[in-house]
Amino acid sequence: MIDAPTQEQDAPRRLTTVTGAADRVFGAVSRLAGFVVLAVMSLVGLFLLYRGWQALSADGPRAFVTTRAWEPDSHNFGIAAVLVLTVLIALVAIVIAVPLAAGAALYISEYAPRRFKQTLISMVDLMAAVPSIVYGIWGLYLLQPHVIGLSRWLATWLDWIPFLSVDGFDPDDPLLSMSVFTSSTFIAGIVVALMITPIICSIMREVFSQAPPGEREGAYALGATRWGMIRSVVLPFGTGGMIGGSMLGLGRALGETIAVYLIISPVFEIQPNLLQTGSNSISALIALRFGEATEFGMSALMAAGLTLFLMTLVVNFAASSIVARTRSGAASEA
Amino acid sequence: MTVMTTEPEARTTVPQRPPAQAEVLRRTASVRRSDVLALVGAGLAALAVTTLFFSLLTPFSGLIGFIVVAYVLFLAFYALLVSYDESGPAVRDRLSTVVMHSAAVLMLTALISVIAFTFWRGREPMRHLNFYVQDLRNAGPLDGLDVGGVLHGMAGTLIMITIAVLITVPIGLLCAVFLSEFPGRYSRFVRTIVEAMTALPSIVAGLFIYATVVVALGMGFSGIAASLALSVMMLPIVIRAADVVLRLVPGTLKEASYGLGGGHWRTVWHVTLPTARSGLTTSVILGTARGIGETSPVLLTAGFTNHLSLNPLDGPMVSLPLLTFDLVRSPEPAYIARGFGAAALLMVIVLGLFVAARVIGGRGPGRLTKRQLRRRAAVSRRDAERFAVRDQHRSAEGEAP
């Protein structure tokens, strides 16, 4: 007969792992790499805050957010106008990019013949890899002369829409110069839209292609057309991914510098007419003014950079949490 | 069991074939003639009406306006034509099909037009040999394209991106390995920070390096400062892409390695990394392509020069995108043309990197190329031969005593 084990004998065994020297070094080195990345990344944020604080505290954050001028050396500066214009450019870009990206993503995942699919995906990736300067010169030299006609048409016929009117534009004036339409928020927005479309498109395509095949077949079996299937299965399934992808694109649009800089002519007032010449963005402001900035002017630019960074950070975090929370994001979390 | 004694009678009857006639292939194509006719008809009608609008009726102008109006009219006409012989849902289906196709076509058109326009405007300077072997020190504002080139931009781009890759790849890959191999609260925090940093606008990365390295440390504008700015920008991109690839490595492979007694380090080095090699290479190449095309961090940190500079530690340096940015803002046509030439060269580099990424990558983890498969097969054949020889020796030794 075997004695029943007493309470004492049943104590949990102590689990020990014997790690060799190589494993310990490996662990230490990779932890160190993680720490280095962490340090660099936090340094960027902290340094911006530290250097920007001088400018923020000089007149108070309130003045910084509400002033519409940029003359740091006479202590008259703020990002109110620039911030609004940045957001306007990004919104124009999103309004153009999201339908385009959604259409292209649906085409690639639902309509394209199978043998073209991989090529099309590569094309979208290539479009994301084209440098922003190339988009910038394309927008400046090819797009702008063509878009002016469209701007003029919109300003002539749709000027009752608040954002589409243009000051000092009279369609009946024969001496009218078309230069009121160049360098506008609208044109900058179109170029930025092209740059963010591939990013949004590839996220959406990934989400769409994960829509469960069983439900697709079910919709077809109930007699749905292809569009009916897309509306009732693919789009509801991919909503989170669509929103998240669009927000990631928005984050990129807010931070875009060079293409915007090349196209706009900078103004420091809130200029809500999208089609009218004159616009600005925080990143273009930094690129424009960093060369001539004094010590304090630099601090002001840092504060502007910090604002931009915080904005993109919030947008990005919101986007990734939306993507992660949807049913469609679940598969990618291993 | 019964035994058959008699042959069964042949009872198979051959059915009467119908008289031979040519078989008609059933059409399985999903496109009918009326669909094509509706498309073509709607297209022609839209073109005609738009031309009427633009030439006679309203003061429309501009190519883009023409296309927009024609497209809207086309959709309307197409819906009308289809609705003659289809029901509501089918009409909506047709319309949405057309819209999806046109979105894809529009995107491709934009891509092709961006690339083709750059090469087209850059063709003049690219024809001259001096464009590739000279810098701009001797090219005055009125000189033609046969003087001066962008050698300094090419050299600067290569030096900057080399340093940036040398910094980014070891740290980035190690950090990605850390994220996937050492799960825990700390690595989750690092991952969150890295994800936040992918949102970092590139100009802010440039601003950071400008304020620290260029101004505070007193290094002045230099190639190394630009490389550091590019590294800050590329690091999160590489880490995130590599992290995704490493997470795709099948857990069973790693467990097999542990089961055979491999330690953590050996498993990572001999199993995880080789399995994910093609994906890791792709992530590095795509990160490089992003870094090479960035203008704004370089703008803030590298300064500008018209002279060839090969020393990244001292003095200003330019890269191709920065050179393009500077040249196209000049009023001189020759400078603008050179700017487009530099942009076209940049596109050549990016396209080259992209093709390389497609050739190397694009395979799932663990998928082998034909050459790798042949090599593996050769190794295992050698092993088999070795075992066979060893077994012979053993059996010979076993019989001897």
Instruction: Inform me whether the pLDDT recorded for A6 exceeds 70.
Output: no
Q: Closest approach of chain B CAs to the CA of A9, in angstroms?
A: 30
Q: Is the domain of B91 the same as that of B203? A: no
Confidence bin at A327 (pLDDT 50/70/90): low
Structural domain tally of chain B? 2
CB B172 within 8 Å of CB B239:
yes
Residue A172 has a pLDDT of 67
Q: Closest approach of chain B CAs to the CA of A86, in angstroms?
A: 13
Better-predicted residue by pLDDT, A271 or B117: B117
Better-predicted residue by pLDDT, A88 or A160: A88
Mean pLDDT for the stretch of residues B330-348? 87
Q: Is the domain of B95 the same as that of B206? A: no
CA proximity to B101, closest of A248, A333, A110, A326 = A110
Q: Is the domain of B87 the same as that of B235? A: no
CA proximity to A141, closest of B29, B393, B204, B337 = B337
Q: Closest approach of chain A CAs to the CA of B28, in angstroms?
A: 16
CB A19 within 8 Å of CB A277:
no
Has residue B143 been placed in a domain?
A: no
CB A277 within 8 Å of CB A263:
no
Q: How many other C-beta atoms are found inside a 10 Å radius of the C-beta of residue B143?
A: 14
Rg (CA), chain A: 27
Report the C-alpha gap between B253 and B249 in whole angstroms.
8
Closest residue of chain A to B105, computed from CA coordinates: A104
Q: Is the domain of B107 the same as that of B177? A: no
Confidence bin at B288 (pLDDT 50/70/90): confident
Q: Is the domain of B258 the same as that of B116? A: no
Of A36, A194, A283, the CB nearest to B171: A36
Residue B400 has a pLDDT of 54
Contact between chains at A287 and B211 (C-beta distance less than 8 A): no
* DSSP element (H, E) containing A295: helix A295-325
- Say which residues have a Cβ less than 8 Å from residue B288's Cβ, sequence separation at least 6: B161, B165, B234, B353
Question: Does domain A79-328 fall into CATH 1.10.3720.10?
Answer: yes
Confidence bin at A174 (pLDDT 50/70/90): low
Closest residue of chain B to A318, computed from CA coordinates: B196
Q: Is A277 helix (H, G, I), strand (E, B) or coil?
A: strand
Report the C-alpha gap between B316 and B214 in whole angstroms.
11
Residue A97 has a pLDDT of 92
Beta strand A70-71 with A76-77 is antiparallel
Of B62, B104, B181, the CB nearest to A104: B104
Of A107, A258, A313, the CB nearest to B196: A313
- Say which residues have a Cβ less than 8 Å from residue B287's Cβ, sequence separation at least 6: B168, B172, B234, B237, B238, B241
Q: Is the domain of B319 the same as that of B272? A: yes
Residue B310 has a pLDDT of 78
Longest dimension (CA), chain A: 113
Mean pLDDT for the stretch of residues B322-336? 86
Amino acid at B357: A
CA proximity to B310, closest of B148, B165, B135 = B135
φ, ψ of residue A57 to 5 degrees: the values are -85, -15
Residue B291 has a pLDDT of 87
Residue A294 in contact with partner chain B when CB distance is under 8 A: no
Q: Is the domain of B200 the same as that of B308? A: yes
% chain B with pLDDT above 90: 9
Q: Is A14 helix (H, G, I), strand (E, B) or coil?
A: coil
Q: Is the domain of B102 the same as that of B200? A: no
- Say which residues have a Cβ less than 8 Å from residue A81's Cβ, sequence separation at least 6: A68, A69, A267, A268, A269, A270, A271, A280
Q: What is the pLDDT of residues B191-228, one digit of tens each?
A: 888 887 887 888 888 888 888 888 878 878 888 889 99
Q: Is the domain of B161 the same as that of B110? A: no
Q: Is the domain of B293 the same as that of B333? A: yes
Instruction: Inform me whether the pLDDT recorded for B8 exceeds 70.
Output: no
Report the C-alpha gap between A139 and A306 in whole angstroms.
28
CA atoms within 13 A on the CB side of B34: 7
Q: What is the pLDDT of residues B356-388, one digit of tens each?
A: 877 776 555 556 777 878 888 899 999 999 999
Of A27, A37, A130, the CB nearest to B235: A37
Q: b or e along B249-274 (b: 16 or more beta carbons within 10 Å of the residue's beta carbon)?
A: beeeebeebeeeebbbbbbbeebbee
Confidence bin at B273 (pLDDT 50/70/90): confident
Instruction: Inform me whether the pLDDT recorded for B2 exceeds 60.
Output: no
B394 burial type by CB count under 10 A (0-12 exposed, 13-18 middle, 19+ buried): exposed
For testing contact with chain B, the best of A86, A122, A130 (most B CBs within 10 A): A130
Q: Is B12 helix (H, G, I), strand (E, B) or coil?
A: coil
Has residue B382 been placed in a domain?
A: no
Q: Is the domain of B182 the same as that of B331? A: yes
Q: What is the pLDDT of residues B142-171, one digit of tens each?
A: 777 777 788 888 888 989 999 999 999 999
Residue A326 has a pLDDT of 63
Q: What is the pLDDT of residues A137-150, one digit of tens each?
A: 999 888 888 888 77
Q: What is the pLDDT of residues B48-76, one digit of tens each?
A: 888 887 777 666 666 777 788 888 889 88
Residue A330 has a pLDDT of 41
Q: Closest approach of chain B CAs to the CA of A269, in angstroms?
A: 22
Q: How many other C-beta atoms are found inside a 10 Å radius of the C-beta of residue B31?
A: 9
Contact between chains at B232 and A26 (C-beta distance less than 8 A): no
Q: Which residues of A touch B212 (CB under 8 A)?
A: 47
Residue B203 in contact with partner chain A when CB distance is under 8 A: yes
To the nearest whole number, what is the mean pLDDT of chain A? 82
Better-predicted residue by pLDDT, A203 or B30: A203
Whichever domain contains B340, its CATH number is: 1.10.3720.10
Amino acid at A105: A
Mean pLDDT for the stretch of residues A293-301? 83
Residues 35-54 of A with CB under 8 A from B: 36-38, 40-44, 47-48, 51
Better-predicted residue by pLDDT, B18 or A132: A132
Q: Is the domain of B210 the same as that of B348? A: yes
| Residue the block writes with tokens 């230099």 | B222
Q: Closest approach of chain A CAs to the CA of B44, in angstroms?
A: 22
Range of the domain at B252: 151-370
User: Residue ranges of the alpha helices (H) in B182-276?
Assistant: 185-197, 202-209, 223-247, 251-259, 264-267, 273-275
Instruction: Inform me whether the pLDDT recorded for A193 exceeds 90.
Output: yes
Residue A328 has a pLDDT of 45
Residues 256-315 of B with CB under 8 A from A: 263-266, 268, 286, 289-290, 292-296, 299-300
**Tokens for A142?**
């090819």
Mean pLDDT for the stretch of residues B274-286? 82
Longest dimension (CA), chain B: 112
Q: Closest approach of chain A CAs to the CA of B230, in angstroms?
A: 13
